Amino acid sequence: MVIGIHHKMRKFFVHPDISIAETLPAEFYRSQEIFEVLKEKIFVKSWHWIGTEKELLPKELCAYPFELLKDYLCEPLILVRTEKELKCLTNVCTHRGHLVVLEPSKNKKLSCLYHGRKFELDGTFSFMPEFKEVKNFPRPCDSLKEFSLANFRNHLFVSLSPNFDFNHILSQMKQRIGHLPIDEFICDTSRNKSYFIDCHWALYCDNYLEGFHIPFVHDSLNEVLDYGNYTTEIYDYFNLQIGYSDGSDEVFDFPEGHIDYGKKVSAYYYWIFPNMMFNFYPWGLSINIVEPLSLNKTKVSFISYVHDSSKLNKGAGAGLDKVEQEDEAVVEAVNKGLKSRFYTTGRFSPTREKGVHHFHQLLTHYLNAENENDIRA
Each residue of 321-377: pLDDT tens digit? Answer: 888 888 889 999 999 999 999 999 999 999 999 999 999 999 999 999 876 655 554
In this predicted model, what pLDDT tens digit does every residue of 167-204 receive, in sequence order?
A: 999 999 999 999 999 999 999 999 999 999 999 999 99
Q: Tell me: pLDDT of 121 over 60.
A: yes
Rounded to an integer, what distance in angstroms lies between the CA atom of residue 270 and that of residue 100? 36
Averaged over 224-240, what is the pLDDT?
91
- Burial code of 355-372, b = ≥16 C-beta within 10 A, e = fewer? bbbbbbbbbbbbbbbeee
Rounded to an integer, what distance in angstroms lies between the CA atom of residue 260 and that of residue 257? 8
Q: What is the set of domains in the chain, with CATH numbers? A: 48-159 (2.102.10.10), 178-368 (3.90.380.10)
Residue 4 pLDDT class (50, 70, 90 cuts)? very low
HSE of 268, CA atoms in CB hemisphere, 13 A: 24
- Position 6 scores a pLDDT of 44
Report which residue type is found at 171: S
Rounded to an integer, what distance in angstroms lies between the CA atom of residue 163 and that of residue 263? 36
Pairing of strands 155-159, 146-152: antiparallel
Residue 214 pLDDT class (50, 70, 90 cuts)? confident
pTM of the entire structure?
0.93
Closest CA to 143 of 157, 131, 128, 132: 128
Averaged over 280-289, what is the pLDDT?
96
Pairing of strands 146-152, 86-90: antiparallel
- Position 356 scores a pLDDT of 97
- Position 2 scores a pLDDT of 47
- Position 215 scores a pLDDT of 81
- Position 88 scores a pLDDT of 98
Averaged over 124-129, what is the pLDDT?
97
- Position 190 scores a pLDDT of 94
228 Cβ contact partners less than 8 Å away, ≥ 6 residues apart: none
- Position 229 scores a pLDDT of 87
| Nearest 10 degrees: Cα torsion 91, 95, 96, 99 | -20
**Higher per-residue pLDDT: 128 or 229:** 128
Rounded to an integer, what distance in angstroms lies between the CA atom of residue 152 and that of residue 240? 18
Residue 8 pLDDT class (50, 70, 90 cuts)? low
Averaged over 220-229, what is the pLDDT?
81
In this predicted model, what pLDDT tens digit does every residue of 67-117 receive, in sequence order?
A: 999 999 999 999 999 998 999 999 999 999 999 999 999 999 999 999 999
Averaged over 284-291, what is the pLDDT?
97
- Position 226 scores a pLDDT of 82
- Position 319 scores a pLDDT of 83
Averaged over 8-22, what is the pLDDT?
91
CA dihedral sign of residues 76, 81, 82, 88: positive
Mean pLDDT (the chain) is 93
- Position 377 scores a pLDDT of 43
Rounded to an integer, what distance in angstroms lies between the CA atom of residue 122 and that of residue 78? 10
Averaged over 301-321, what is the pLDDT?
89
- Position 3 scores a pLDDT of 45
In this predicted model, what pLDDT tens digit does every residue of 249-262 receive, in sequence order?
A: 789 999 999 999 99
